Structure 1
Amino acid sequence: MYDEPAAGGPPPQRKGRPRSTTADDAILAAARALLADGGWAGLTMGDVAARAGVAKTTLYRRWNSKHELAIAAVAEMLDTLHLPDEGLTLRADIEDVVRRFAALLARPEMRTALMGLVADSTSDPALRTRIREEVVNPQKRLVLEGRARAKSRGEITTQDDLDVDLIFDVIAGTVVHHILVSAEPASDRWVQRFTTFVVSGLVP
């Protein structure tokens, strides 16, 4: 098992923060596996600790609840999204991100976690706030980076008023609805048609 430092060791610099990335990785991997295997109801803190090989105290020092743990697991997966290293056009950047995002949403652990969190947040305003702050808002970095790239290539001008929040909502909302609500695959034709629609609203 992964244990905390022995008593008498140096005190943590910031109370409640993870002190072992090895334990963190094991816990998040266990949470994703349980979400994939047992669904939202199958995710319990006790089972996560057992599967990760850590003490419950180790788990609760990092994440106080199932919701916090699921948010962390989702955020970690979404943080793997990035624009292509050799993106040459705004269209190529958007198409690549849409494909990657759709592939993530198709994973059972991501689908289960997101739908479970959203369902529970309908009666929990604090949870909605955490989802927005820790899952949604950080991914707007992709829109900011894509906009900066497009401006540097001259595809859009610095005078173009591109609403980052609106662009994010259009892209992320459409892909989430298509994959999770409509339960349709992100076929090549669909990705290309959707990208054409988005680009037509961004490029003069």
Structure 2
Amino acid sequence: MSGTAAGTGGTGGGRRTGRPRSAAADRAILHATRAALVDLGWGGLTMGEVAARAGVAKTTVYRRWPTKSELVLDAVAALLDEELELPDLGSLRADVECVVQRFAALIDRPEAKTALMAVVAESTRDAALRQRVRQAIVAPQKRLVVLGRHRALERGELTEGPGDPGATVDLIFDVIAGAVIHRLLVSGEPVDGEWARRFTTVLLDGLVATASPGAGHRPEEHR
């Protein structure tokens, strides 16, 4: 699970006093937040409602997350950390297609969809919240790009280029996450197996290759 729920929730950075935080209470609060988002939406979600559903005092919620935006952000970050994985399917192409569909399935869940749209909108007016989005969601999920790239290098499907590997990881993440989120949340179109296949072809082979004759043919996978 991400360090967001247990580490950066609330004001963060300051020295805590008193009893240690309860991991069970953190999990209950984040779960209650996601459930309340499904039932009530962003506008109906309150800290009091979350506290009641989690079986804790409202002050317990506020000590951990001073604002609704921070609470909802960490609830979504925990969901992604717990459920988004990159299985090794034997080829870079198969790995990418799989993670695209898994990421889309999570983002398309009512609680994640509602939360992301609301938090991103709030973050356009709040630089600190925007930074927390990068820390809580973007940075942890880049681990999947690092893992997939490492596997592809070991299989010989990719070669290490002269550029900065970190910048390459950033770019790959931006392309994948940006395309999936735009497809689902802006265009309102599904991310199914066919779309994931075509997207992966563009990502791996490039626009020039996909526009050439026979571009739809899938090359033999590296095993």
TM-score range, shorter chain: 0.7 to 0.9
- What's the counterpart of residue 175 of structure 1? 180
Alignment partners' CA distance in 2, 1:133 and 1:19: 21
- What's the counterpart of residue 157 of structure 2? 155
Distance 1:92-1:160 versus aligned 2 partners, 3 A rule: farther
Distance 1:192-1:18 versus aligned 2 partners, 3 A rule: farther
Count of aligned residue pairs for this structure pair:
187
- What's the counterpart of residue 69 of structure 2? 67
Instruction: List alignment gaps of at least 5 residues for structure 2.
Output: 1-14, 207-223
Helix, strand or coil for the counterpart of 2:44? coil
User: How far off its partner does 1:159 sit?
Assistant: 3.0
Distance 1:29-1:193 versus aligned 2 partners, 3 A rule: same
Helix, strand or coil for the counterpart of 2:160? coil
- What's the counterpart of residue 16 of structure 2? 15
Identity of aligned residues (%): 61
TM-score normalised to structure 2 length: 0.79
Alignment partners' CA distance in 2, 1:198 and 1:159: 17
| CA root-mean-square deviation | 1.6
TM-score normalised to structure 1 length: 0.87
Alignment partners' CA distance in 2, 1:185 and 1:160: 37
- What's the counterpart of residue 30 of structure 1? 32
Distance 1:33-1:18 versus aligned 2 partners, 3 A rule: farther
Greater CA deviation, 113-122 or 155-164?
155-164
- What's the counterpart of residue 136 of structure 1? 138
Alignment partners' CA distance in 1, 2:199 and 2:42: 30
User: How far off its partner does 1:173 sit?
Assistant: 0.1
- 1:96 partnered with 2:91: no
**1:81 is aligned with what amino acid?**
L
Distance 1:146-1:125 versus aligned 2 partners, 3 A rule: same
Alignment partners' CA distance in 2, 1:140 and 1:67: 22
- 1:194 partnered with 2:199: yes
User: How far off its partner does 1:44 sit?
Assistant: 0.9
Alignment partners' CA distance in 1, 2:61 and 2:51: 6
User: How far off its partner does 1:81 sit?
Assistant: 1.2
User: How far off its partner does 1:18 sit?
Assistant: 6.1
**Which of 64, 82, 85 in structure 2 is aligned with 1:82?**
85
Distance 1:18-1:116 versus aligned 2 partners, 3 A rule: farther
More helix by share: 2
- What's the counterpart of residue 6 of structure 1? none
User: How far off its partner does 1:147 sit?
Assistant: 0.7
Alignment partners' CA distance in 2, 1:122 and 1:68: 14
- What's the counterpart of residue 8 of structure 1? none
User: How far off its partner does 1:61 sit?
Assistant: 2.0
Instruction: List alignment gaps of at least 5 residues for structure 1.
Output: 1-13
